[in-house]
Amino acid sequence: EDKVVQSPLSLVVHEGDTVTLNCSYEVTNFRSLLWYKQEKKAPTFLFMLTSSGIEKKSGRLSSILDKKELFSILNITATQTGDSAIYLCAVVRDSYGQNFVFGPGTRLSVLP
Amino acid sequence: DSGVTQTPKHLITATGQRVTLRCSPRSGDLSVYWYQQSLDQGLQFLIHYYNGEERAKGNILERFSAQQFPDLHSELNLSSLELGDSALYFCASSVMETQYFGPGTRLLVL
């Protein structure tokens, strides 16, 4: 059965810390991996990763995919209280359309 | 504001009833996705439409159906509602890699 696992499930850090969130997957017909940030509302799309070893960056956030070992990491440097959210990882299966399998999310709390 | 709109914002109904949720994608986006988010099951992908055509199905129950119209708006129909259908329903639209989520419809089945 296809599955996406995220760790840790919950994380508390202080402002300025660097965090690494993990996402591993066992999915047939992998196409791509996506990261989202969800605060008290709708998810916000962060990154889409399709190729191994190519880092995607946006400000203090970066992510990389390892297709051989079947995992991805999301790094957040110099964390701020505004980074507090649930971070979701989803894998898109290769099909005629886009078929998603979501992980449970990592709840990040950044304390001042 | 993502540019994706969903109506209604909240919906309260009774078991056995049928409801329709509506989504308008961002201007120019051809893809619409529907998701269900509940406390015990997290975010679940339901279905993907592209330019009026169903492209992929996820964990969508047979009691649920969707369609995308020529003007690209989409509707998600939920019938024979059960208590367990209470959840937040999101739609998202996309062009290229980036997805944009609507604010969601919160459904409560009593």
List b or e across B20-50, with b for residues whose CB sees 16 or more CB atoms inside 10 angstroms.
Answer: ebebbbbeebebbbbbbbeeeeebbbbbbbb
How would you classify the pairing of strands B42-50 and A10-14? unpaired
CB-based contact A99 B57, cutoff 8 Å: yes
Q: Which of B55, B98, B103 sits opposite A41 (nearest CB)?
A: B103
- Angle at the Cα of B73 (from B105 to B80), degrees rounded to 5? 50
pLDDT digits (tens, 9 = 90+) for B3-20: 999 999 999 999 999 999
- Binary contact (B43, A41; C-beta < 8 A): no
Residues on chain B touching A97 (C-beta within 8 angstroms): 48-50, 54-56
| Residue spans of alpha helices (H) in chain A | none
For residue B51, the distance in angstroms to the closest alpha carbon of chain A comes to 11
- Contact call for B101 and A42, based on CB within 8 A: yes
b/e code A6-42 from CB counts within 10 Å (16+ = b): beeeebebeeeeebebebbbebeebebbbbbbbeeeb
Q: Please answer yes or no on whether A44 and B101 come within 8 Å at the CB atom.
A: yes
Range of lowest pLDDT (A6-10, A47-51, B74-78) = A47-51
Q: How far is A41 from chain B (nearest CA, A)?
A: 7
Which residues, 6 or more positions from B1, have their beta carbon under 8 angstroms from its beta carbon? none
Q: Residue B1 — very low, low, confident or very high, per pLDDT cuts 50/70/90? A: confident
| Residues of chain B found within 8 Å of residue A102, distances taken between Cβ atoms | 42-45
Query: Is A42's Cβ below 8 Å from some Cβ in B?
Result: yes
Q: Answer whether B42 sits within 8 Å of A41, measured CB to CB.
A: no
User: A41: nearest CA in chain B?
Assistant: B103
Q: List, for residues A51-86, the tens digit of each pLDDT value.
A: 888 889 999 999 999 989 999 999 999 999 999 999
Q: How confident is the model at residue A96 (pLDDT cuts 50, 70, 90)?
A: low
Q: What is the pLDDT of residue A97?
A: 65
Confidence of residue A90 (pLDDT cuts 50, 70, 90): very high
d(CA A39, CA A111): 15
For residue A1, what pLDDT band results from cuts at 50, 70 and 90?
A: confident
Name chain A contacts of B5, Cβ cutoff 8 Å: none
CB A24 within 8 A of CB A70: yes
